[in-house]
Amino acid sequence: MISGFLKKLLFARQFSMINGKIEVLGKRHVMLPSDLLFSLESNKEEIYAASKKRSFENMKYVGAKLGASQESMLKNIKNIYETFGLGPLELADLNNKQKQAVVIIRESPSAKTRAKEPQCILISGILAGMFSYFFAQDIDAEERKCSATGASFCEFNIGKREKK
For 29-66, the pLDDT digits (tens) are 767 666 666 666 678 899 999 999 999 998 898 888 88
With 90 as the cut, is the pLDDT of residue 158 above it?
A: yes
SS3 for the chain is CCCHHHHHHHHCCCEEEECCEEEECCEEECCCCHHHHHCCCCCHHHHHHHHHHHHHHHHHHHHHHHCCCHHHHHHCHHHHHHHCCCCCEEEEEEECCCCEEEEEECCCCCCCCCCCCCCCHHHHHHHHHHHHHHHCCCCEEEEEECHHHCCCCEEEEEECCCCC
With 60 as the cut, is the pLDDT of residue 6 above it?
A: yes
The answer to whether the predicted template modeling score (pTM) of the entire model surpasses 0.85 is no
